[in-house]
Homo-oligomer: A and B are copies of this chain.
């Protein structure tokens, strides 16, 4: 395709905010950059889009390579293109966010991305580029998303207790929820069903285990 040079020919990258909930806190996957620019800085996993890829398939590749998961919840977030966000020149970043249960994720180190780890979104280090902004925006989107969709299923293992479910919500919306109201609301939504078995272990009453009836994204009236 021919195009006069008076047009901007930006480089296009994809960055992915991979969320999970661990120890009652909402966390995002952070890697350490092996190369310039920002060599050694913590950053989001991401990179150039390869030939034959779309931005989604690039995001899926990053998810598979860095977190060892596929078929998880993945949604385009925003395209960041502030002129000086990358010292190399005009670089557009098409960003995505993903949700996965902690126990399905296998963090993997690659040549370009060292020491990957989950960092609580409430205590992130200063990240490369505008990546702090990107995560901030993703957290906002996730919070509002949770209020009118069943997206939380993406953060939970196949079976879970109602208390675990509530803790996920509390971690994301960042406030305590009333136990009885939460359970009432969730049960009448009809999204989950008891598995029939109970949690074991610990010096306490065992809890009923539940599963989501469907793991397809759905819109809902309102959650809490």
Q: Contact residues of A with B, CB < 8 Å?
A: 1, 3, 5-12, 48-55, 76, 78-79, 81-83, 88-89, 92, 94
Contacts and interface: CB of A to CB of B under 8 A. Distances in A.
Report copies per complex: 2
Contacts of A3: 11, 48
A79 B55 contact: yes
A11 B82 CA distance: 17
Given A79-B55, A79-B79, A8 B94 contact: no
A97 B83 CA distance: 21
A14 to B, nearest CB: 10
Contact of A7 (B50, B54, B78): B50
B7 A51 contact: yes
Those 8 A-B pairs whose CB atoms lie nearest each other, nearest first = A7-B48, A8-B49, A79-B79, A1-B88, A1-B89, A54-B81, A79-B94, A55-B81
